[in-house]
């Protein structure tokens, strides 16, 4: 018996800065019949990612903004419950841009991949084996290009992407330094994610602690923050350093464009490289990353944390929660079966 | 009959900002006898380069600062007048870091190369076939990596490096846009150096003119300036753009570190790359560049301008002159034979 209705989290108004719960509304809409070439997915986990803030802003970004009244764009994973698409069968587990909704009807194009790691929790397809892990893998290996012995510094080091970057850098033979906010996250960096050093950017003496943690300077900086954390790291870069710009979490708004110390002289004096990373450039190599990440998860070299919120009602406030930094590791919303 | 004395332009005091004539003094020193393994070069042309400003500043830079009382570090070219070095014979023409002085005694290590383009003026070994041309060649081809059809924007477009970048980009099949200061330099860009568009950054409506000149956005930006010119260009970069940081001429001092609009969001949204360029990384490929540049000079596809000041007395004020932007093309000091 197929469902007749679908609850969606729709964008209700356009936020300036970080989207809050009241920018969204939960609406029940009729679920149309499947057309030839379509499949119906019952979403099980919705993904909450920092980039989603950019997807709802009106300013030019790397993708078109979500329309008012449309379901919020997001990664999600779920099970195919009906299919008129030759490539998908009932029971397949799929992951892709399925949106903040209970059910997704799709022609298959938004689906990123079938989830085949049956021995691992399927929520991982949205985190360490999903956009977060794959981002960490390619941002570090393809843009950061670490060499054994390099010092790799990671900001938002205890987060879903950062924690994976630090661990992959360790696997690559690097010395790793994590920057995180607060004593608890600093502890997580060392005890859970194996950073050689962890620095609390909220503590007094941050710059001195960073210097002490990077006695040989910085060869790779994986930057999820921009802002004053990055300003401090860039002053310590080595000749030929690589700065991977992966996120700008510490900048609350680009509507009023912020200023900071100019980077040109650092880049010139050190012949260093600063480069933006977009996962879309690596879609064709997605399975390469997932296969390696899954092996490292299985043998215990790659650890992850998840924080799971229960029920679609948790989705609207989840992006703001992410930006408040309250979560540990990957933030997810689980849709329950009582619907 | 070998000379017994040598006039040097010595650094007399350490400048803050741009070195002026009175930071130097011209001193005659005895010329010691040649030791085994040494050669004596009579300098004919001294090179004046923007980077020399950095060589005399005390702040950490990409090379040790010139010591007070030492002859000013510089490129120069001249003829070997005596040699006890197995690799050099009397009459050889050489180019290298021979300093602002009439004669250089050296063990050969500061010599960059023997100048073998006998059909071309030897002053070119310091300009279009020297550090300027080689910088332009590698900054563009190895860091900027232009593809045919790309839009390449060049700042200080009429200068010794910039004018070569623009012309090499044209040879590489690109659309070229030169940014220069003043109507005369703008005219030079179009009439002499063949830019498709030239924009005067000192004129009113600079940003509108830049937009009109780059209707398809900017794929490669060769940046010799930093500052507000760069801020305007970076707002127009395309997906995957490359920004080559080659100089920071518009920043008068880094002692009081300047701020500017943060670049992280531009780099991230466009997955763009911003990279410092130091010629030292390409020393092993120097002859590759000189051979190609010389061919382009011979067949008229690569034009250059020189402004030659006569007499060592012109050297002390020459760096300030360069930064005032009064010169056309490569600035040189010619040492006369009356000494």
Q: What is the pLDDT of residues A123-136, one digit of tens each?
A: 999 999 998 999 99
pLDDT (tens digit, 9 = 90+) per residue, A277-296? 999 899 899 999 999 999 99
Task: Provide the pLDDT for residue A56.
Answer: 92
Q: What does the pLDDT read at residue B59?
A: 67
For the full predicted model, state whether its pTM sits above 0.90: no
Among candidates B108, B48, B93, B94, which has minimal Cα distance to B72? Answer: B48
CB < 8 Å to A281, chain B: 271
Is the model's pLDDT at B338 over the cut of 70?
Answer: no
User: In 3D, which of A29, A56, A143, A268 has the Cα closest to residue B139?
Assistant: A268
Q: Confirm whether the ipTM is greater than 0.95.
A: no
CB B50 within 8 A of CB B322: yes
Closest residue to B271, CB basis, from A259, A267, A278: A278
Q: Three-state DSSP class for B290?
A: helix
Q: Residues of B with CB below 8 A from A272's CB?
A: 275-276
What are the Cα distances from residue A161, in Å, to A132, A201, A233, A331?
Answer: 5, 18, 18, 11
Chain A nearest CA to B264, separation (Å):
6
Of A321, A327, A312, A331, the closest CA to residue A44 belongs to A312
Name the nearest CA neighbour of A237 among A212, A271, A287, A204.
A271
* CATH number belonging to domain B131-280: 3.40.50.720
**What are the distances in angstroms from CA B159 to CA A134, B77, B282, B322?**
44, 20, 21, 10
Report the pLDDT value the prediction gives residue A256, as an integer from 0 to 100.
84
Picking from A143, A246, A268, A275 by the largest number of B CB atoms within 10 A of its own CB, the best residue to mutate is A268
In sequence order, the β-bridge partners of residue B78 are B43, B94
Token pair recorded at residue B152: 């390449």
Determine the Cα–Cα distance for residues A326 and A253; give it in Å rounded to an integer: 19
Task: Give the model confidence (pLDDT) of B227-286 as tens digits.
Answer: 999 999 999 999 999 999 999 888 877 878 999 999 999 999 999 999 999 998 999 999
Residue in chain A lying closest to B261 (CA):
A259
Q: What per-residue confidence (pLDDT) applies to B61? A: 58
pLDDT of residue B252: 76
Residues of A in contact with B272 (CB under 8 A): 275-276
H/E segment holding residue A183: helix A183-191
Q: What superfamily in CATH does domain A132-280 come from?
A: NAD(P)-binding Rossmann-like Domain (3.40.50.720)
Mean pLDDT of all residues belonging to chain B: 94
**For B255, nearest residue in chain A (alpha carbons):** A265
Q: Which residues of B touch chain A, with CB atoms under 8 Å apart?
A: 60-62, 223, 226, 230, 245-248, 251, 254, 257-278, 281
Q: Where are the domains of chain B?
A: 5-127+304-334, 131-280
Pick from B239, B304, B303, B314: nearest CA to B271: B239
Reported confidence tier of residue B60, pLDDT bands at 50, 70, 90:
low
Strands, E, within chain A: which ranges? 5-11, 24-30, 39-47, 76-83, 93-96, 103-106, 111-114, 151-155, 175-180, 197-200, 218-223, 237-245, 259-261, 273-276, 306-310, 330-334
Residue range B117-129: mean pLDDT, rounded = 96
Is the C-alpha dihedral spanning B274, B276, B279, B285 positive or negative? Answer: negative
Q: For residue range A30-48, list pLDDT tens digits in order.
A: 999 999 999 999 999 999 9
Assess if CATH 3.40.50.2300 describes domain B5-127+304-334. Answer: no
Give the C-alpha separation, B56 to B45, whole Å: 21
Exposed/middle/buried for B281, CB within 10 Å: 0-12, 13-18, 19+? middle
Please give the share of chain B, as a percent, with pLDDT higher than 70.
98
The closest of B83, B8, B13, B20 to B46, measured between CA atoms, is B8
Per-residue pLDDT, B302: 98
Residue B136 pLDDT class (50, 70, 90 cuts): very high
Contact between A245 and B268 using a beta-carbon 8 Å cutoff: yes
* Residue A62 confidence (pLDDT): 59
User: What is the chain A residue with the closest CA to B273?
Assistant: A275
**Which pLDDT value is given to residue B327?**
74
**C-alpha–C-alpha distance, residues A264 and B275, integer Å:** 9
Query: B251–A271: do the CB atoms touch at under 8 Å?
Result: no
Instruction: For an interface test with B, give the residue of A17, A264, A278, A281 to mutate (most B CBs within 10 A).
Output: A264
- pLDDT score for A58: 73
Query: Are A147 and A219 spatial neighbours (Cβ–Cβ below 8 Å)?
Result: yes
Q: Write the residue in B62, B246, B270 that is nearest to A269 by C-beta.
A: B62
- Cβ-defined contact of A275 to B271 (cutoff 8 Å): yes
Structure confidence at residue A119 as a pLDDT band (50, 70, 90)? very high
């Amino acid at each position: 018996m197929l469902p007749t209705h679908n609850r969606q989290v729709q964008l209700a108004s356009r936020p300036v800065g970080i989207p809050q719960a009241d920018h969204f509304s939960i609406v029940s809409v009729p679920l149309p019949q499947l057309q030839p070439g379509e499949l119906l997915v019952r979403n099980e986990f919705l993904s909450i990612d920092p980039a989603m803030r950019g997807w709802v802003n009106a300013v030019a970004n790397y993708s078109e903004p979500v329309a008012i009244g449309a379901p919020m764009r997001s990664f999600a994973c779920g099970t195919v419950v009906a299919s008129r698409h030759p490539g998908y069968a009932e029971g397949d587990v799929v992951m892709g841009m399925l949106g903040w909704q209970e059910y997704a009807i799709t022609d298959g194009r938004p689906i990123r991949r079938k989830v085949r790691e049956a021995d691992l929790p399927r929520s991982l397809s949205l985190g360490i084996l999903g956009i977060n892990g794959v981002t960490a893998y390619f941002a570090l290996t393809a843009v950061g290009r670490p060499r054994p012995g390099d010092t790799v510094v990671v900001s938002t080091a205890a987060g879903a992407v950062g924690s994976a970057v630090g661990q992959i850098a360790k696997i690559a033979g690097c010395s790793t330094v994590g920057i995180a906010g607060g004593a608890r996250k600093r502890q997580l960096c060392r005890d859970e994610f194996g950073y050689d050093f962890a620095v609390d950017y909220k503590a007094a003496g941050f710059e001195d602690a960073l210097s002490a943690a990077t006695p040989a300077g910085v060869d790779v900086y994986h930057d999820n923050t921009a802002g004053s954390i990055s300003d401090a790291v860039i002053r310590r870069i080595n000749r030929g350093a690589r700065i991977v710009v992966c996120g700008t979490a510490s900048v609350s708004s680009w509507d009023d464009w912020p200023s900071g110390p100019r980077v040109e002289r650092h880049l010139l004096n050190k012949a260093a490289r600063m480069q933006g990373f977009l996962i879309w450039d690596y879609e064709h190599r997605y399975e390469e990353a997932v296969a390696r990440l899954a092996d490292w998860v299985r043998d215990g070299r790659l650890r992850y944390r998840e924080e799971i919120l229960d029920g679609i009602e948790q989705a609207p406030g989840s992006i703001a929660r992410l930006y408040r930094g309250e979560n540990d590791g990957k933030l997810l919303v689980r849709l329950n079966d009582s619907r």
